[in-house]
Amino acid sequence: MMNEFIYSFQLKNVYRTNSFLYYLKRFPLIKRVIPNDVYAKKGLKTFAKCLSFLYEFVTLFIWKLLYLYLIFMLPSMIMETSVDPTISFHIFFFMTLIGGLLNTSILNPTKDKYYAICLMRMDAKKIALSEFLYFQFKNFIGMAIAAYLIQLFIPLDLISCLSLSILVVACKFIFGALLLKKSQKKVYNENKGDILKLALCLLFLGAAFVPLFFSMYMSMSLYYILCGIMIIFGLLAFGYLYKFDGYTAIYRELLKPENIIFNVTQVQKQGNKVFTDKIEYEHITTSKKGYAYLNYLFVQRHKRLLTKTANRIALGSLAVIALLIVGVAAVEPIRAGINEYLISFLPYSLFLMYLINRGESITKAMFINCDNAMLHYHFYRQPSAILGMFKQRLQSLILINLRPAGVIALGLTILLAVSGGSANLSDYVILPVTILCLSVFFSVHYLVLYYLLQPFNSEVEMKNPFYQVMTALTYFICYGFMQRIDSHYFGAWVIGLTIVYIILALFLTYHLAPKRFRLK
Amino acid sequence: MKLKLEGIQKSFDSKEVLKNITFEFEEGKIYGLLGRNGAGKTTLFNCISEDIPYDKGEMKIIENDQERKLTTDDIGYVYSTPQVPDFLTGREFLNFFIDINRSKISDLKSIDDYFNLVGIDPEDRDRLLKDYSHGMKNKMMMLVHIIFNPKILLLDEPLTSFDVVAAAQMKQLLKDISGKHILIFSTHIMELALDLCDEIVLLTHGELERIERDGEDRDTFEEKIISRLKGEDDE
């Protein structure tokens, strides 16, 4: 078994080293100094190998450290007083059960296993056990290092520290054996969810946290008794795993190519299929022509993504606002609270409008289902075509997004009036106009980003990191405004800035998109 | 009419793919472009169709002894992987295409006539393109180029996805339209190249080379082509 382990470890190492070099070659600036025959350069390979070992070592404990930090240190920090560490052991016990259930590694169809067992024709049992034991060894050591680091900050004795590592490993052994036994009837794939798994996870999650609300948690003695039981069952499970003989049959089923994620492109292809599946067929007749015709058909065939979702958000908003109006009419404290909140609501509306605008997924559908193919045709790459289509799309996007925005704008204004109104009459204008402006702003923003930075290549791989930076920045800016700022001040600025932004963005698009809207 | 390529060069990083492409293609002929994997056939097509810019050289059209620059309207490029918008039906796609390019299309026929031309059955004409087979998508892509009627048609492995009947139909169609066009046909299938093409052009060492058939029989000519292509390895 040692030989299989060494071979499989070497295989993984070569793969990791080459992947590292591959990513290095794609990195802006660095790629210029990396030679084309990088995979044949011994020095660079050794460097990559060292880095991959370092990566393996750091990832051994870094996530576990974060996990223990959350369980042992965060409760005290949130409560601003020291919390009994026994609570943390209680949570840890049940969370470990969840971890064991979700990830034992033995029934995880990885590409490493596929290469070793299916391509290199290595013995399935030996590979399975060597990989499983190595994974558990890493779990044990990683958890021990993390526990050692945590006990520097909070007093934990050696036994309790050790119990963390032992419990994790015992749990993986037990669930590994149980799932393997279950797989004899129907092969279990760890990467796929099922109802029983979800139900058990919820049960364990409930057991971890619900009793805490009633100040109930297991004592340390009960924790140690449970650990002891887990160790005994863990040893029995290890015996079962070692004697089990059906690995070959199970892996033949488990390691089918469709179960394995080989590369990012495959994930993207699956993601693309989600968008292609969103196309709904219905017979459409229209007198529209040219790009208006193309855009009209696009909108009609993507109703679920475009109009239906917008309508649903609009209806949902209507229901919430109607409820609030009833609440305001019936209960005095709600009336006063809502009135005060509405006046200071505007900064939050930025994040709200950000959330309900799905410009990013709509532009992705535009690319995958339409532009990826159409940009292969000369006529579609002509400036008049690009701008013609842009204009049509912008109109549609603005009108669709204005449906929920209109309901929210009008609804909140009515709510402001019925909840006691505002002394400042301009509130009745600033509140709805800001919301409508923000809706138009996001429609323009995403479409302009798409046309100016067109981030995909024909394989729908993201080729423009700047696009990702811009969308992330959009999120952080919107999130950053979630605080109490003077509403009038905010509203006036938003209206002014969005109008300036829209004019500027359209100007840039008309000048730059014909050159930039290309397949990467 | 002739398509004249003069000293076309294209490199990716330090790899020179097209070193010195100099060639004249003539109207009325089907050219079979052959080359080993990675020889640069698709790169050459991408350069001619202006999908990617080339580093050096000139591309011209010679018409009535007058030289002029090659424009995008002169070129139609049928990709090896067909590219059609999934959300439209076959009929809607043609409708849109004709609508946009109406002023540039001469001798416009009805949409059903066009479908008949490439053998797309009436029951398939109003189905979404995403549900078309690879071969049917390929027919659609070829069809829009036939409608647009550019002077030069570049075809990158276009017949490989067709069944035998469809391939025979498409071959005949290409022969029919070849009279007033320059067709450049890239393929790995020797039989197809010899059956369909009037001239065989090899892309080796980043250059184009015409292979003359000096009265040789088919087998000898085939061997001659293969030995030229193999020569690339021997050097």
- Chain A residues whose CB is inside 8 A of the B95 CB are 293
- B150: tokens are 């550019």
Q: Which of A366, A367, A359, A361 shows the shortest CA–CA distance to A405?
A: A359
- Catalogue all structural domains in chain B, each as residue range(s) with its CATH number: 2-234 (3.40.50.300)
Largest CA distance in chain A: 82
CB–CB contact A379 B15 (8 Å) = no
- pLDDT per residue rounded down to tens, chain B (235 residues): 999 999 999 998 778 999 999 999 999 999 999 998 888 999 999 999 888 889 999 999 998 889 999 988 899 999 888 889 999 999 999 999 999 998 888 888 999 999 998 889 999 999 999 999 988 998 999 899 999 989 999 999 878 778 888 888 888 888 888 888 999 999 888 888 888 888 999 999 899 999 888 778 888 888 889 888 887 544 4
pLDDT at B235: 46
| Amino acid in position A430 | I
- For chain A, the domains span 60-262, 276-516
Going edge to edge, which strands form the sheet with B199-204? B75-78, B152-156, B182-186, B29-34, B199-204, B207-211
- Chain B residues whose CB is inside 8 A of the A36 CB are 13-15
Closest CA of chain A from B138, distance in Å: 12
Q: Which residues make beta-bridge pairs with B18?
A: B10
d(CA B119, CA B139): 8
Among B87, B105, B124, B141, most A C-beta atoms within 10 A, so best to mutate, is B87
Looking at the whole model, is its pTM more than 0.95?
Answer: no
Closest CA of chain B from A293, distance in Å: 7
Angle at CA A339, nearest 5°, toward A333 and A345? Answer: 125
Q: Say if residues A71 and A92 touch (Cβ distance below 8 Å).
A: yes
Interface list for chain A against chain B, based on CB atoms closer than 8 Å: 36, 276, 279, 281, 283-284, 289-291, 293-294, 297-298, 301-302, 369-370, 372-374, 376-379, 385
Backbone φ, ψ for residue B73 (5° rounding): -70, -20
Helix, strand, coil % over all residues of chain B, rounded to 5: 40, 30, 30
Angle of the A359-366 helix axis to the A427-453 helix axis, nearest 10: 30
Q: Sign (positive/negative) of CA torsion B110, B113, B118, B120?
A: positive
- How many C-beta atoms surround the C-beta of residue A128 within 10 A? 26
Closest CA of chain B from A294, distance in Å: 7
- pLDDT per residue rounded down to tens, chain A (520 residues): 677 777 777 777 777 787 777 777 766 677 677 776 766 777 777 887 888 888 888 888 899 999 998 888 877 776 667 778 888 999 999 999 999 988 888 888 888 888 888 877 888 888 889 889 989 999 999 999 999 998 888 888 889 999 999 999 999 999 999 999 989 888 888 888 788 888 999 999 999 888 887 788 899 999 999 999 999 999 999 999 999 988 998 998 888 877 777 665 666 666 677 778 888 888 888 899 999 999 999 999 998 888 888 899 999 999 999 998 888 888 877 787 788 777 777 778 888 888 888 888 888 889 989 999 999 888 898 888 898 999 999 999 999 999 999 999 999 999 888 888 887 888 888 889 989 998 999 999 999 999 998 887 766 666 667 777 887 888 777 777 766 566 677 888 888 888 898 889 888 888 888 888 888 7
SS3 B31: strand
Q: Say if residues B228 and B204 touch (Cβ distance below 8 Å).
A: yes
CB–CB contact B144 A281 (8 Å) = no
d(CA A465, CA A256): 34
Backbone φ, ψ for residue B31 (5° rounding): -100, 130
Q: Does B56 touch chain A (CB under 8 A)?
A: no
Q: Which of A284, A301, A373 sits opposite B83 (nearest CB)?
A: A373
pLDDT at A155: 83
d(CA B53, CA A372): 19
- A133: tokens are 């034991």
Q: Which of B15, B94, B28 shows the shortest CA–CA distance to B55?
A: B15
Q: Say if residues B129 and B140 touch (Cβ distance below 8 Å).
A: yes
CB–CB contact A377 B95 (8 Å) = no
Q: Are strands B182-186 and B199-204 parallel, antiparallel or unpaired?
A: unpaired
- The 8 Å CB, 24+ separation contacts for A137-141 are A138/A60, A139/A165, A139/A168, A139/A169, A139/A172, A140/A165, A140/A166, A140/A168, A140/A169, A141/A60, A141/A61, A141/A165
The C-alpha R_g of chain A, in whole angstroms, comes to 29
Q: Sign (positive/negative) of CA torsion A364, A368, A369, A375?
A: positive
Q: Which of A462, A451, A461 shows the shortest CA–CA distance to A385?
A: A451
Closest CA of chain B from A289, distance in Å: 7
Q: Which helix (H) or strand (E) holds B105?
A: none
Q: Which residues make beta-bridge pairs with A456?
A: A462
Backbone φ, ψ for residue B155 (5° rounding): -125, 115
- Residues comprising chain B, all counted: 235
Q: Say if residues A107 and A183 touch (Cβ distance below 8 Å).
A: yes
Q: Which of B14, B100, B130 sits opposite A379 (nearest CB)?
A: B100
Closest CA of chain A from B85, distance in Å: 5
pLDDT at B91: 95
Helices (H), B40-133: 41-48, 90-101, 111-118
pLDDT at A282: 84
Q: Say if residues B114 and B97 touch (Cβ distance below 8 Å).
A: no
Q: Which of B80, B89, B78 shows the shortest CA–CA distance to B130?
A: B89
Among B45, B99, B100, B151, most A C-beta atoms within 10 A, so best to mutate, is B100
Q: Which of A279, A293, A377 sits opposite B128 (nearest CB)?
A: A279
User: With 0-12 CB in 10 A as exposed, 13-18 as middle and 19+ as buried, what is A146?
Assistant: buried
Read off the pLDDT of residues B101-145 as tens digits, 9 standing for 90 and up. 988 888 889 999 999 988 899 999 999 999 999 889 989 998 999
Q: Say if residues A170 and A191 touch (Cβ distance below 8 Å).
A: no
ipTM for this model: 0.85
Q: Which helix (H) or strand (E) holds B10?
A: strand B2-12
Region of residue B215 (phi > 0: left; psi between -120 and 50: alpha; otherwise: beta): left
Read off the pLDDT of residues A286-299 as tens digits, 9 standing for 90 and up. 899 999 999 999 99
CB–CB contact A373 B99 (8 Å) = no
Q: Chain A residue closest to B144 (CA)? A: A377
- How many C-beta atoms surround the C-beta of residue B95 within 10 A? 17
DSSP A137: H
